[in-house]
Structure formats: C-alpha cells, structure tokens
C-alpha cells in the first residue's frame, strides 16, 4: 500500500502536489478542531458523571418519602442514563476505530469513498468518519435519556 502511494505521488505534477499540500494543510487544522471537540465532549460527560454521583445523598434521601419519592426515582433514572451514555460513547469510539482501520488497512472502496491509491480520498474519508463520530457523541445523551425516560 505504501509503495502504491509513493508511486501515485511521484506520478503527480507540481500543481496537483501543491493542491494536495493545501488540502492536507486545511485538513490538519480541521482534524485539530474536531479532536478538541471530541475531547471536550468526552471530558464533559466524565464531569457530568462525577457531579451526579457526588450529589447522590440528596436525591437518594427522598426515596423513602411518599411525596418526594419521585425526585429520587428521577435521579436514579438520570444516573443510569448517564452511565449508559458512557457505554454508548465507548461503542461509538470502537465503531470509529474499525472504520478508520478499514481506510488504513484495506485501501479499497469503503462506503462509496474510493481510497485505493488516492491519498486525499483517504484523508477526506477520515474527516467524514470523524465528523460522524462528533455527531454521534452529541447524540449519546439524547439516546440514553430516551431509553431510561430521564429528563
């Protein structure tokens, strides 16, 4: 695969190589921004889990009361939803790793993105999968809260 890439780059003219360079330069900053976005989402979820567990004694104390018991039940639903959200994040990252590995190893037609011998196609495919990961990380909260009927 690496020899095919070298041969493809050697066969390109100067204009094409400059275009490839400019695209890669733009993609570098795009990936940096997406990387920061992913870390903010994941660390935000970790802080959310910490805050929910650190404040647990207050809503759990209401579980035994008839009038205020619903508050404790809603808290437990929210706690389970946030825990399930962490599991969904792990699943999303695992799926992302498999998709990226498919681009790197096989270098074939994957989901309509031609990557065989086309370095910029592989890079744009990687960008597409990273944007998909960002979208799915944002949706994990909604999915887990809807499963546990938490609000």
pLDDT in tens, 9-67: 788 888 888 988 898 889 899 999 999 999 999 899 889 989 988 988 988 899 888 88
How far is the C-alpha of 6 from the C-alpha of 60, rounded, in Å? 62
> In this structure, is residue 61 part of a structural domain?
no
> In this structure, is residue 26 part of a structural domain?
yes
> In this structure, is residue 112 part of a structural domain?
yes
> In this structure, is residue 25 part of a structural domain?
yes
147 Cβ contact partners less than 8 Å away, ≥ 6 residues apart: 81, 84
> In this structure, is residue 30 part of a structural domain?
yes
- This prediction has a pTM of 0.76
Quick: pLDDT tens for 73-96: 999 999 999 989 999 999 999 999
Contact 141, 85 (CB under 8 A): yes
Contact 45, 82 (CB under 8 A): yes
Average pLDDT over residues 140-146: 93
How far is the C-alpha of 26 from the C-alpha of 29, rounded, in Å? 6
> In this structure, is residue 10 part of a structural domain?
yes
**Domain span at 22:** 2-50+84-148
> In this structure, is residue 142 part of a structural domain?
yes
Which band of pLDDT confidence, cut at 50, 70 and 90, is reported for residue 115? Answer: very low
Contact 24, 127 (CB under 8 A): no
Neighbours of 39 (CB within 10 A): 10
Total domains in the chain come to 1
């Amino acid at each position: 695969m690496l020899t095919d890439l070298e041969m493809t780059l050697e066969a390109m003219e100067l204009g094409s190589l400059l275009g490839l360079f400019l695209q890669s330069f733009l993609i570098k900053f795009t990936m940096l921004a997406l990387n920061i976005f992913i870390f903010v989402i994941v660390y935000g979820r970790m802080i959310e889990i910490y805050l929910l567990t650190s404040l647990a004694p207050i809503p759990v104390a209401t579980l035994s009361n008839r009038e205020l018991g619903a508050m404790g039940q809603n808290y437990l639903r929210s706690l389970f939803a946030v825990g399930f959200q962490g599991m969904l994040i792990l699943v999303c990252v695992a799926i992302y790793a498999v998709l990226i590995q498919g681009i790197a190893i096989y270098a074939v037609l994957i989901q309509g993105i031609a990557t065989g011998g086309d370095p910029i196609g592989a890079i744009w495919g990687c960008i597409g999968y990273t944007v998909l990961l960002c979208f799915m990380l944002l949706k994990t909260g909604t999915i887990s809260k809807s499963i546990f009927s938490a609000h």
